[in-house]
Amino acid sequence: MKKFLLTGLFLLPCLSWAQSRASLSGDYVEVRSASVFAGACHFNGEVVTTGRDAMMAWNVQSGRWHGVSLAGVRAMAVVSSEANLADKALRRSELIIDSDASDAQAGAMVDALKENYAALGKVVSVRRAPVKFEHTGKSYLVSAKEIATLSVEGMPNDECCKMPHQVWYEPLVPLMHRKVGYTKDVQYSGGPVAEGWQRADENSAFYGRFLI
């Protein structure tokens, strides 16, 4: 009995710490500067010359981080490397946190992303800007005013699921119900991590639900 009580007392601080971190969940979409679903020849033609940049976006729907509610917070990240991102080369990233978030929410969101996503590499800049995240059916439209924008559609008939051998990359973050998307357009105006870049009309996106 005494041993049980001691164990319970030991666990209380751990449970309190875990509850203060609590998990976050919501919508996620990313676009790479290379096709993630393509024929083998197309993939091999791109793998050593492109795929060095990516844009990531989160729309938190529920959860708290270190005691701060992040429901409704939206964020984007632009990631760049000297080599294809699948090569695990050194990366630099810029975070963009929605200006509607409070300072406490912005700080907690930055901490959550840094602590959970090694894919970001070194975060060299954090900007505040209006971030719009629209998800309707299989369509995603995300933008940070004059900095970054992406437009993604789901693939017809979930084509990527019928030919999984042609999916050449993994999402930069773990996802539930991961799907490949068709990028109508993605643009980055340039900043501390990379020169401006743009891609369009290719199967270069992933989307799904994130949970951290």
- Average pLDDT of the chain is 89
How large is the average pLDDT for residues 18-29?
74
Residue ranges per domain, the chain?
Answer: 27-211
Residues 144, 91, 25, CA angle at the centre, nearest 5°?
Answer: 55
Q: What is the pLDDT of residues 57-80, one digit of tens each?
A: 999 999 999 999 999 999 999 999
Picking from 75, 41, 74, 30, the residue whose alpha carbon sits closest to that of residue 170 is 30
Is the pLDDT at 14 greater than 60, yes or no?
no
Can you tell me the distance from the alpha carbon of 182 to that of 205, in angstroms, rounded to the nearest whole number?
Answer: 6
Please tell me what DSSP assigns to residue 83: S
Q: Which residue, chain included where needed, has tokens 């946190």?
A: 97
- pLDDT of 16 strictly over 60: no
Res. 5 pLDDT band, cuts 50 70 90: very low
Q: How confident is the model at residue 198 (pLDDT cuts 50, 70, 90)?
A: very high
Determine the average pLDDT of the residues in 96-121: 98
Token pair for 88: 């695990």
Q: Which residues pair with 142 in a beta bridge?
A: 133, 150
Residue pLDDT, tens place only, 142-196 = 999 999 999 999 988 776 776 788 899 999 999 999 999 999 999 999 999 999 9
Does residue 122 carry a pLDDT above 90? yes
Tokens of 202: 């290719």
CB 29 within 8 A of CB 139: no
